[in-house]
Amino acid sequence: MVDFHHISVMPDEVLRALSPRSGGIYVDGTLGGAGHAGLILTASSPEGVLLGFDRDAEAIAAATERLAPFGARARIFQRNFADIAETLAGIGVEAIDGFVLDLGVSSHQLDREERGFSFMQDAPLDMRMNREEGPTAADLVNELSEGELTRIISDYGEERWAKRVASFIVKARSEQPIETTFQLVDIIKGAIPKAKWEERLHPATRTFQGLRIAVNEELKSLEDGLAALLKLLRKGGRGAVISFHSLEDRIVKESFRAAATGCTCPKELPICVCGKVPQCKVITGKPLMASEQEVKENPRSRSAKLRVVEKIV
């Protein structure tokens, strides 16, 4: 068995939202350990199909093994879900009946030292979901300008000390390259006044989040992937997205709202000339949260927010 540990968040809520049926075609755009995928395949037995996407080679290996009992009903792709339109066109799939995105970093990625996602373990400063492509977090902290680092840490990490952290990074790298997670943690701890450290939040949390999002282009992937998935949904199909921080949740909320909005003509026009009609309806006015029991069993689900949308045309 491939060692890939990840606990799927809000599995019951996702299943209720999607209501998988036999013969349906479903997409898991963030396959991970295949927890949601396995549940969808079981619920859509005997003829439901699951198309799974993940950039992480270790996730792909684990999911392939875990979904093997479902045979040809599970098709797995090592690709970013932002590329879903191109991928599905290549295999002749024109529409889907549902999709799920679980946007959290997997427990496996956080817990494996060599992946460099965690500020709790010393490791090479990597943070790539796909370790075979793109710049690492070390590349960013050693090569970007102070202004660019400030923007990433502020916009993506929502760190109010971003300018100071970026300044300390630039000073430190002038003395020696920043290559490990603990090197960066020490720099961040020096940059943020100890009196301003938050009681329940490690001082490196926000900077690491910002760098991870930048390394993997997560927000752009989410925008592009959601647009493609909403377009692919057939009438009556549903999409479920679980986000873990405000930047992701805002994109999901705004994407769903835009898809559910009709005429956008100025109010002073007597008739509609844009011809825009709602494509979807939002099922969750407010996002669903993990239950107290789930948070107790899986503390990482505490910040999870689930939003659901349904295609109506």
Q: What is the mean pLDDT of each run of 10 residues along the chain (313 residues)?
A: 67 96 97 94 97 92 94 96 95 97 70 66 88 90 98 96 98 97 96 92 93 93 96 97 94 96 87 90 95 92 95 96
Domain boundary among 164, 184, 216: 216
Domain boundary among 201, 216, 231: 216
Do 98 and 222 lie in one domain? The reply is yes
Summarised one tens digit per residue, pLDDT across range 8-20 is: 899 999 999 999 9
Do 210 and 122 lie in one domain? The reply is yes
304 CB-contact burial (10 Å; exposed 0-12 / middle 13-18 / buried 19+):
buried
Do 191 and 226 lie in one domain? The reply is no
Whose tokens are 């430190």? That residue is 172
**1 in any annotated domain:** no
Summarised one tens digit per residue, pLDDT across range 6-57 is: 678 999 999 999 999 999 999 999 998 899 999 999 999 999 999 999 998 8
Domains: count for the chain: 2
Do 142 and 155 lie in one domain? The reply is yes
Give the span between the Cα atoms of 141 and 148, in whole angstroms.
10
What CATH number does the domain containing 149 carry?
1.10.150.170
What six digits make up the tokens of 26? Answer: 């479903």
Do 160 and 73 lie in one domain? The reply is no
**40 in any annotated domain:** yes
What CATH number does the domain containing 53 carry?
3.40.50.150
**107 in any annotated domain:** no
**138 in any annotated domain:** yes
Q: Given this model, what pLDDT does residue 6 score? A: 63
Q: Given this model, what pLDDT does residue 112 score? A: 60
Do 98 and 226 lie in one domain? The reply is yes
Integer CA distances (angstroms), 186 to 97, 118, 182, 272, in order: 48, 14, 6, 58
Do 98 and 225 lie in one domain? The reply is yes
Do 184 and 245 lie in one domain? The reply is no
Do 20 and 163 lie in one domain? The reply is no
Question: Looking at the DSSP assignment, which residues form a beta bridge with residue 99?
Answer: 27, 239
Give the span between the Cα atoms of 5 and 8, in whole angstroms.
10
**108 in any annotated domain:** no
Domain boundary among 187, 216, 245: 216
Tell me the residue length of the chain.
313
**4 in any annotated domain:** no
**6 in any annotated domain:** no
Do 234 and 263 lie in one domain? The reply is yes
**151 in any annotated domain:** yes
Provide the residue range defining the domain that includes 160.
118-216
Do 37 and 16 lie in one domain? The reply is yes
Do 92 and 227 lie in one domain? The reply is yes
